[in-house]
Structure 1
Amino acid sequence: MSWITAEQALAQLGTKPQTLYANVSRGRIGARPDPDDPRRSLYRQEDVERLAARQRGRRPARAVAAETIAWGEPMLETAIATVVDGHLLYRGQDTFVLAVKATLEEVASLLWQSSAPPDFGGKAQVRQPGMPAAYRTIAELAATDMPTTGRIRNVLIADAARTVSSLAGALAAPGNGPIHMRLAEQWNRPEAAEAIRRALVLLAEHELNASTFAARVTASTGAPISAAVLAGLAALSGPLHGNASQSMAGLVEEARRRGAGAAVATHLRQGQTLACFGHRLYPEGDARAPALLQAFAPPRPFAELARAGEALSGERPNIDFALAAMTAAFTLPEDAPLQIFALARSVGWIAHALEQVETGALIRPRARYMGPKPKIN
């Protein structure tokens, strides 16, 4: 792997430094500190060459092949959700309109195409609510539930409602009220209920992301609905997905000490990715973020970082930024974004599981072997 200086990268790209920093922030160009001068950064030559070739209208075959599994192939047909002109649509309905009043239960009815909102209520609650309990609860269901093969849709939707209900019982207060109210009660933050409701609606589904793909592959084997949710939970736990909002902690602390502008500038000059800014599906900015931020007043460091980040990188805050800001605004548990993400996205995972079951197809890609030459006698 080869690394080049900013000057060399800019010469190949023919762009301004701000564009180079934006490409680093978006994850398109890898960067690392220069070992000879930590104040400067080096940039991955292969990434720069790929972007330069794209701008010239041609791309190396090896670059095309390498990118097919990242924001490319495989592509699966779905009628559940898509992003069009910056708008996230659930079965054709604009989520930013749904976020004004809808509950997660109503969104589940829409995504699952059920005749009525499912019942996610329950009196049972684990001894210590939280993500460890959520994993244990869903894992036990996955080990004991029936497979999906040979069972009609209404029965599978009943399994789906029981799975989400069990997940809610591991995270939220017991009861029959909407999940957002039960989460606010569990955290003793009733004033946060409206923001939580919006977040649940906006996060319920997002096309074929990493955790949804994991859930859909699992469902394609005929595994139980709860097993698909368990697969989604496993993928969601990564720092590049459901835990992304926690990556803002260092930037927020630096903004408190030195000011937002200085914090952002330092990150960009060092070639560091600006956490929780930008999203590849939303070139003009992740519209889910302002839809959630409308529900509360972001704390001062977050408001200042939003302005400084956009001014210096050209990128706008994304939904992970909004979740981190919400957590700080209402003093929610540190992993509240992951808990909200898990409850919300479980509805989307199940929608994809149900759709995949209807296809009756197994998802089984092939691998391109790049190892030592086989020795066959």
Structure 2
Amino acid sequence: MSDVSDWWHTSIIDMAPGQIRMRGRPIEELIGTISLPQMIWLMTRGDLPNDAQAKLLECALVAAVDHGPQAPSIAAARMAVTCGLGLNGALASAVNMLDDVHGGAGEQAVELYHQIDGIMAEGSSLPDAAASAVRQWQSEKSKYAPGFGHRFHKPRDPRAPRLLALVEDAAQTGTISGRFGTIAQAVQDFLEQKAGKPVPMNIDGATAVIFAELGFAAPLARGLFCLSRSIGIVAHAWEQMEQGGRNKGPTPPGYRWTYEGKNPIE
């Protein structure tokens, strides 16, 4: 039967009748003794964080739960509900929109921070490493530096300074090294010098600092953001269910789109 039992193989969970072990730990010992952030860490990393690490992770998750109905993923969830979908369908519709442009900046920022860290390991100064990595990113991937600037929050994203203050506190207590916070600040300094105006860090850049400091791989940063934003998605979908409405599109019916094609000849 090994060809069947080995079809899937995992170190995450072991089950038998009357027994469930997560990463080797009986589920009944985890229930009531660890928090959800600790459980997320255990499931994705294989071990348990200390209380300070779990608290910092929790702060990042709390900060990113929602950004209003104008966010495409939230709007999609609310529209899905008015089309008859349940909470699970609305959640799936919304999370599937959290890709590179809307939802991927945190993962990309972790990648950028690690790239800068790697350049510094080869002997470059922090300012030079930040400038080199950002220039390469903007040349090869996108003119937008992930995690910096915001189309709505001017002059700054209110979530980022609070998260960065918590990062600084955690670095002072030895919970984290603080080096990725320093790297992110160097990116901001370079962007502002280049643009000649403020280009403040946003929520994605700040949570990316925390995820990188805590040792999460870049792809997991997007997964963690999806977990966080799912809370807001469920809240909006449920609210829309309570409000009612049928077949609501992205704009009220009285508003028309811009038609740019040819009109039929009369």
TM-score, length-normalised on structure 2?
A: 0.66
Give the stretch that moved more between structures: 205-214 or 258-267.
Answer: 258-267
Matched with 1:215 is: 77
- Contact 1:251–1:263 (8 Å) recurs in 2: no
Of 219, 224, 240, the residue aligned with 2:101 is 240
Distance 1:128-1:341 versus aligned 2 partners, 3 A rule: farther
Q: Does residue 228 of the first structure (1) align with residue 90 of the second (2)?
A: yes
Say whether residues 1:282 and 2:139 are aligned partners: no
Question: What are the superposed Cα offsets for residues 244-300 of structure 1, whole Å, 9 maximum, x if unpaired?
Answer: 123333475257535245337746996922221111221121121222223332424
Please identify runs of 4+ aligned residues in structure 1 that moved more than 4 A: 126-129, 267-271
- Equivalences for residues 174-323 of structure 1 within 5 A: 175-176=30-31, 177-186=34-43, 187=45, 188=47, 190-191=49-50, 192-208=53-69, 209-236=71-98, 238-248=99-109, 249-250=111-112, 253=115, 256-257=118-119, 259-260=128-129, 262-263=131-132, 266=135, 272-296=143-167, 297-299=178-180, 300-313=182-195, 314-323=198-207
Summarize deviations over 1:158-216 as a string: whole Å, max 9, x none.
xxxxxxxxxxx9xxx96544321211222235043112110111111111211101111
Partner deviation per Cα, 1:72-93 (whole Å, 9 max, x = no partner): xxxxxxxxxxxxxxxxxxxxxx
Gaps of 5+ in 2: 1-8, 13-21, 168-177
**AA in 2 matched with 1:253:** Q
Which amino acid letter does the alignment assign opposite residue 260 of structure 2?
M
Equivalent residues in 2 for 1:158-173, closer than 5 Å: none
CA shift at 1:355, angstroms?
1.8
SS of alignment partner, residue 217 of structure 2: coil
What are the superposed Cα offsets for residues 136-162 of structure 1, whole Å, 9 maximum, x if unpaired? xxxxxxxxxxxxxxxxxxxxxxxxxxx
Paired residue type of 2:66: E
- CA deviation profile, 1:294-353 (whole Å, cap 9, x unmatched): 333242433422333344432111111122222221211322222221122111111111
C-alpha distance in 2 between matches for 1:255 and 1:196:
21
Q: How does 1:60-71 map to 2 (within 5 A)?
A: none
Q: 2-side partners of 1:334 and 1:128: how far apart?
A: 21
Q: Would the alpha carbon gap of residues 250 and 203 (structure 1) be closer, same or farther in structure 2, given more than 3 Å must change?
A: closer
Q: Does the 8 A contact of 1:220 with 1:357 survive in 2?
A: yes
The alignment-based identity, stated in percent, is 25
Return the alpha-carbon distance in structure 2 between the equivalents of residues 274 and 350 of structure 1.
Answer: 30
Tell me if structure 2 keeps the 8 A contact 1:189–1:330. no
**Aligned pairs, number:** 208
Partner of 2:261: 371
Give the whole-Å Cα distance in 2 for the aligned partners of 1:315 and 1:269.
15
Matched position secondary structure for 2:155: coil
The amino acid of 2:207's aligned partner reads: L
Relative contact order higher in (CA < 8 Å, ≥ 6 apart): 2
- Corresponding residue to 1:347 among 201, 216, 231: 231
Structure 1 residues 268 and 243: CA distance shift in structure 2, 3 A: closer
Which residue type is aligned with residue 83 of structure 2?
T
> Given the two structures, how large is their TM-score scaled by the length of structure 1?
0.48
Maintained 8 Å contact 2:116/2:130 = no
Relative to structure 1, is the Cα distance of residues 292 and 265 closer, same or farther in structure 2, using a 3 angstrom cutoff? closer
Cα-Cα RMSD? 3.2
Whole-angstrom distance in 1 between the partners of 2:221 and 2:134: 26
